Chains A and B, each alone.
Chain A
């Protein structure tokens, strides 16, 4: 009973604050309700026994990405926003409802839910009793996924250099 109640709380708050983030006219309110969304998504991860991912979600999304958004928002003084909704918003809402309906329909019409794999060796629960979530993720990340890990570090380096180049002061010199 308690897991269901927790699930409904986290899921309801996630969806509700996401809707508030979309419809809110003030951009600061949008960013702050997106913070609520991220924290409750971390709660969903804990319900799914992904504790390390939940911690990383709070640290990276709520701690780093949202702070970056808030910095940029404070830089732009969003109180002067005179535009709000695009004129195509009825079509957009209709498209969103159709998309969500199609995806929910595909959940109930596919057979994948009945097939639990039997050949998978790195099980979540089976290994979790002996190793723990963090150790298991580290084991998989530094053995099987070492090459994607290196690619990820390279992409982060590209993001770092690109952000410095794009937002740096060299654009002002042209004027």
Chain B
């Protein structure tokens, strides 16, 4: 076993707490920028889980996956904020309750 004093479960619990906080943030906040920030939190919790398993399973693939998640997060933020700016030009609001153009 690893000579580490910290069990894997602790890292997993931190990641899961972050994920739950991100889910609550997406559901609770009404500003669309805060929804995007909460999605960042959820991506980071996935990253923590990947890195923890990469260390405890002694496999470098988990760290490689974090790079691809990071790349995806960067592209998502650029596109998401561009969409927010375009939306603000058209509707002049950031409230997700008022953005109901496609609501059924």
Contacts and interface: CB of A to CB of B under 8 A. Distances in A.
Interface of A: 1, 3-4, 7, 11, 14-15, 18-19, 21-22, 27, 30-31, 34, 37-38, 41, 44-45, 47-50, 52-53, 56-57, 60-61, 64-65, 68-69, 72-73, 75-76, 78, 81, 83-86, 88-89, 91-93, 95-97, 99-100, 103-104, 107-108, 113, 116-117, 120, 122-127, 136-137, 140-141, 145, 148, 152, 155-156, 158-160, 162-167, 171-172
Interface of A is mostly: helix
A124 B60 contact: yes
Interface in B77-93: 77-79, 81-86, 88-90
The 9 A-B residue pairs with the shortest CB-CB distance in the complex, in nearest-first order: A159-B75, A92-B27, A100-B20, A96-B24, A166-B82, A167-B82, A163-B82, A103-B16, A22-B25
Interface of B is mostly: helix
B13 interface: yes
A60 B70 contact: yes
B80 to A, nearest CB: 9
Contact of B86 (A53, A160, A167): A167
Contacts of A171: 86, 89-90
21 contacts: A14-B18, A18-B21, A18-B41, A22-B41, A34-B40, A37-B41, A38-B44, A41-B44, A48-B52, A50-B63, A60-B70, A72-B85, A81-B94, A83-B30, A85-B28, A91-B27, A96-B20, A99-B19, A107-B12, A155-B72, A172-B89
Interface of B: 1-2, 4-6, 8-14, 16-25, 27-31, 33-34, 36-38, 40-41, 44, 47-48, 51-52, 54-61, 63-64, 66-68, 70-79, 81-86, 88-90, 94-97
Nearest to A64: B74
A78 B64 CA distance: 37
Contacts of A172: 89
A3 B6 CA distance: 7
Given A81-B31, A95-B23, A120 B58 contact: yes
A84 B37 CA distance: 15
A3 B4 contact: yes
Given A22-B24, A27-B34, 16 more contacts: A18-B17, A37-B41, A50-B51, A52-B63, A56-B67, A65-B74, A76-B88, A78-B33, A89-B28, A104-B13, A113-B9, A113-B56, A140-B61, A152-B67, A156-B74, A166-B83
